Structure 1
Amino acid sequence: MATRYLTGVPELDDALTNYLEEHAPPQHANLIRDMVKTTLKLVSDQTGRGDLKIINSALKEMRYSFKVLRPYNRVRKVSIFGSARTSEESPEYRQALEFSREMAARGFMTLTGAGPGIMKAGNEGAGRDMSFGLNIKLPFEQTANSAIVDDPKLINFKYFFTRKLAFLKDSHAIVMFPGGYGTHDEAFEALTLVQTGKSHLVPIVFVHPPGSEFWSDWDAYIREHLLGRRLISPEDLSLYRITDDLHTACDEITHFYRRFHSMRYVRDELVVRLEAPLLPEELEELNDQFSDLVLSGRIEATDALPPEADDPPIAHLPRLKFRFGRHRYGRLREFVDVLNRLPLPEGCQMEVPEAGKGGLIPEEVDHQDPLAPIDNPSTGRPA
């Protein structure tokens, strides 16, 4: 076994080997070994108790949230953000409630922060069966709302960063209703992660009631002060939409998955899964319009590649592949928009999403066979 995965304690390595051979899938064994080795390094690093408590709590929160969400990984989900201070009599509350109700009717589960205001509206509209609550423990303002309290899909977090990971990892759409610092933080985090390719490409929609200029004013600021000073690129504006109509917001999300299904990286190629194959002339049109996205070669049609064998329910989907430079994600969103405007063959319907076993978050793609020999100790990762 590669030294990279050994703890340096023979008795422990033997016991760990025996346990993993009996209980762990072979493709996961080395990752688990690596986590154990990293944990034991905290001893030799003489890590302080305060830091240990942070690591311990974060790991527990991630493990538990992954466990709760895992049974629903074949159901699409939309994350709803907005103010905890929104009155239940306000037009924003009613709009969020009706939005989540309509998305549930379209088969999407709702994730909210489990608090009052917009969060309660999201859970109430979707109903308990179609809701998750990702609650944050605060000394004020944040107790689980009555629409999700005591539900087994309610998860309590100590840290914002683990909570944000749970939101972004499992969401197929992000929707922002009017809110304060927290909502804007979540909005910019989502935009940053998608813009940099640290998260998968999803529709991000900003919604306010008719007559409101809440997000329109925000958009004006983005265009004047960020785009105007060349702090972002014009194509980055393609990463989000603003609307005052809840049905338009719902259509924006479902239309995103009209021809496009999902994407992942396989080595140096981006693989785009499709709901239906493209005609030769449609593929040619994409090559003409988006040659600037391709590092070399062309956009090509393909079947599932061997590394995608870990997700059989979507193995039948047709694919496109090309060498993407892993930047200009706003331009990649424009590619998806053009793809989704192409005619859809009769009888085509939205397939189940990928399970996130590899490539859902691009940064976590395995670049080699997890069972293959690992680099030797002299060229391995630093301790």
Structure 2
Amino acid sequence: MTDSVSSLLQEVFSNAETRLKQLEYHPNRTAWLRILQSLQRMGSLELSRLDAKILAATLEDLEQGFAAFQNYAHQRKITVFGSARLGPESPEYRQAQLFAYCISQRGFMVMTGGGGGIMEAGNRGAGLENSFGLNIQLPFEQMANPVIAASDRVINFKYFFSRKLFFVKETDALVLFPGGFGTQDEAFECLTLMQTGKTKLMPLVLVDRTGGCYWKEWDEYVREHLLGRGLISPEDLFLYTLTDDVGDACQQIVDFYRVFHSNRYVRELLVLRLNTRLSLEALDILNEEFADILDSGRIEQTGALPEEAEEDIAHLPRLVMHFNQRNFGRLWQMVRRINKLHPEQPDPLQMRPEQK
């Protein structure tokens, strides 16, 4: 039986591979060939029933995630993390709801875990039209909140890892309110991805209740036990910011995209796309202050490179550099410096920081 299934899969994949190779100019041809070849190899592994079910569920998670966000690729989105156990009576819930309302009024969409507590507050503040809920199938505690429950804005994931993939892939800022093990897991995993260059450049803001000490004491722990023992570098502290003010949290996110637009690697080059061109004086300041994060050469201002000249952003100026791919905390620091170097605030109606 196993042999017949394996033979059938090999035949299907072989035919599909032949057809794909004929699509010489399809932009994703190489990627689809890799997908088919990987599935073909797994088809010959005689996977156990459990392994086959894991593969199937993972692909289904990816399929529904890609489908849900396909029409929102150019809309900036914010991920809100926090406890499912903090109800409407808590200051944290009210802060999260107010933050989500504030940031949605600036044109950003809000993504939450789709459950109750802080997640519900985020969806409620943003409103259904500006919300997504990335729910997780659990035997307890995690039902979709009433704001999004009966809508197509709920995505039900089987696995935490595929859910986290879309939280990070689709977002342009990470905002964390107080929470338990899940929130701490999300905080440290996001910081790890940022510290190791496995995510795009974006702000991570830790938001507390007014006058609260949850994140302040967390920050003290990080500084004393992680930084103090040499387990992280001083520059890693630039990866996140703390606030207990909703307006400040919103402004930090908007300001992050004031001049900076997005980043991309082209071969060994880091490309920073900008909303507006920097002066020669500003460029000299960057080269003086951030020479330590370059493997060689200088930070140069250019136009779009052929490999990353997507039509809708080809007109944007670029900063191009041989970044050493180690000092990511300093790189986050440089983005914030770039945003302060432009002498005039760009017109927000022209800049539209929420539009990718």
Q: TM-score range by the shorter chain?
A: over 0.9
Q: Which amino acid aligns with 1:36?
A: L
Change (3 A) 1:196 1:12: closer
Which blocks of at least 5 consecutive residues in structure 2 are unaligned?
A: 1-7
Provide the C-alpha distance between the structure 2 equivalents of 1:119 and 1:14, rounded to a whole number of angstroms: 46
Instruction: Report the counterpart of residue 253 of structure 2 in structure 1.
Output: 253
**1:214-229 to 2 correspondences below 5 Å:** 214-229=214-229
Provide the C-alpha distance between the structure 2 equivalents of 1:170 and 1:25, rounded to a whole number of angstroms: 27
Provide the C-alpha distance between the structure 2 equivalents of 1:170 and 1:58, rounded to a whole number of angstroms: 18
TM-score, length basis structure 1: 0.87
Computed over aligned residues only, the root mean square deviation of the Cα atoms, in angstroms, reads: 1.9
Change (3 A) 1:19 1:208: same
SS in 1 for 2:116: coil
Provide the C-alpha distance between the structure 1 equivalents of 2:148 and 2:175, rounded to a whole number of angstroms: 19
**1:201-216 to 2 correspondences below 5 Å:** 201-216=201-216
Provide the C-alpha distance between the structure 1 equivalents of 2:283 and 2:339, rounded to a whole number of angstroms: 13
Alpha carbons 1:111, 1:132 under 8 Å: kept: yes
Instruction: Report the counterpart of residue 88 of structure 1 in structure 2.
Output: 88
Work out whether 1:68 is the aligned partner of 2:68.
Answer: yes
Instruction: Report the counterpart of residue 175 of structure 1 in structure 2.
Output: 175
Q: Relative contact order (alpha carbons < 8 A, sep ≥ 6): 1 or 2 greater?
A: 1
SS in 1 for 2:255: helix
Change (3 A) 1:9 1:178: closer
Instruction: Report the counterpart of residue 133 of structure 1 in structure 2.
Output: 133
Provide the C-alpha distance between the structure 1 equivalents of 2:75 and 2:16, rounded to a whole number of angstroms: 38
Provide the C-alpha distance between the structure 1 equivalents of 2:198 and 2:114, rounded to a whole number of angstroms: 25
Deviation at 1:17, TM superposition (A): 3.4
Instruction: Report the counterpart of residue 370 of structure 1 in structure 2.
Output: none
SS in 1 for 2:197: coil
Change (3 A) 1:10 1:186: closer
Work out whether 1:120 is the aligned partner of 2:120.
Answer: yes
Which blocks of at least 5 consecutive residues in structure 1 are unaligned?
A: 1-6, 355-383
Q: Which amino acid aligns with 1:312?
A: E
Instruction: Report the counterpart of residue 334 of structure 1 in structure 2.
Output: 333
Q: Which amino acid aligns with 1:13?
A: S
Work out whether 1:285 is the aligned partner of 2:282.
Answer: no
Provide the C-alpha distance between the structure 2 equivalents of 1:28 and 1:174, rounded to a whole number of angstroms: 30
Alpha carbons 2:300, 2:321 under 8 Å: kept: yes
Instruction: Report the counterpart of residue 350 of structure 1 in structure 2.
Output: 352
User: Would you say how many aligned residue pairs link Structure 1 and Structure 2?
Assistant: 346
Work out whether 1:153 is the aligned partner of 2:153.
Answer: yes
Deviates more, 1:137-146 or 1:10-19: 10-19
Kindly provide the CA deviation profile for residues 130-162 of structure 1, in whole angstroms up to 9, marking residues without a partner as x. Answer: 000000011100000000112112100110000
Alpha carbons 1:262, 1:353 under 8 Å: kept: no
SS in 2 for 1:316: coil
Q: Which amino acid aligns with 2:52?
A: L
Provide the C-alpha distance between the structure 2 equivalents of 1:326 and 1:269, rounded to a whole number of angstroms: 10
Q: Which amino acid aligns with 2:260?
A: F
Provide the C-alpha distance between the structure 2 equivalents of 1:128 and 1:288, rounded to a whole number of angstroms: 47
Alpha carbons 1:205, 1:240 under 8 Å: kept: yes
Alpha carbons 1:314, 1:352 under 8 Å: kept: no
Deviation at 1:239, TM superposition (A): 0.5
Change (3 A) 1:43 1:235: same
Provide the C-alpha distance between the structure 2 equivalents of 1:37 and 1:269, rounded to a whole number of angstroms: 30
Alpha carbons 2:79, 2:110 under 8 Å: kept: yes
Identical-residue share of aligned pairs (%)? 48
Work out whether 1:232 is the aligned partner of 2:232.
Answer: yes
Provide the C-alpha distance between the structure 2 equivalents of 1:12 and 1:162, rounded to a whole number of angstroms: 25
